Amino acid sequence: DLGIDHTWTIKTVQTPNGTIIQSGKNSISGMYFLNALSKTFMKLTIPAMALSLLIGFLVTHRWTKPIRTLIRTVKEIIETGELSKRVAVDKQNSEIGELIELFNKMLRRNQSLIFGMHESLNNVAHDLRTPMTRFKNSAEYAIQSSDPEACREALADCMEESDMIITMLNTLMNVAEAETGAMQLNKKRVDISDAIRKVADIYEFIAEEESIEITLKLKDGIKIEADPSRFHQIIANLVDNAIKYSANGGKISIESTIKNSNVVISVKDNGIGISESEQKRIFERLFRGDRSRTKHGLGLGLSFVKAIAHAHNGTVNVLSEVNKGSTFFITLPFS
Residues at the contact surface with ligand ADP, assessed by CB under 6 A: 241-242, 245, 269, 271-274, 282, 287-289, 292, 297-303, 326
> In this complex, which beta carbon is closest to ligand ADP, that of residue 242 or of residue 263?
242
Least distance CB 289 / ligand ADP (angstroms): 2
Least distance CB 271 / ligand ADP (angstroms): 5
Contact between 49 and 62 under an 8 Å Cβ cutoff? The reply is: no
> In this complex, which beta carbon is closest to ligand ADP, that of residue 228 or of residue 297?
297
Least distance CB 230 / ligand ADP (angstroms): 16
Least distance CB 235 / ligand ADP (angstroms): 13
> In this complex, which beta carbon is closest to ligand ADP, that of residue 25 or of residue 280?
280
> In this complex, which beta carbon is closest to ligand ADP, that of residue 66 or of residue 289?
289
> In this complex, which beta carbon is closest to ligand ADP, that of residue 87 or of residue 300?
300
> In this complex, which beta carbon is closest to ligand ADP, that of residue 73 or of residue 270?
270
How far apart are alpha carbons 134 and 161 in whole angstroms?
7
Least distance CB 250 / ligand ADP (angstroms): 10
**Cα–Cα nearest to 5, from 34, 28, 25, 29:** 28
Least distance CB 276 / ligand ADP (angstroms): 13
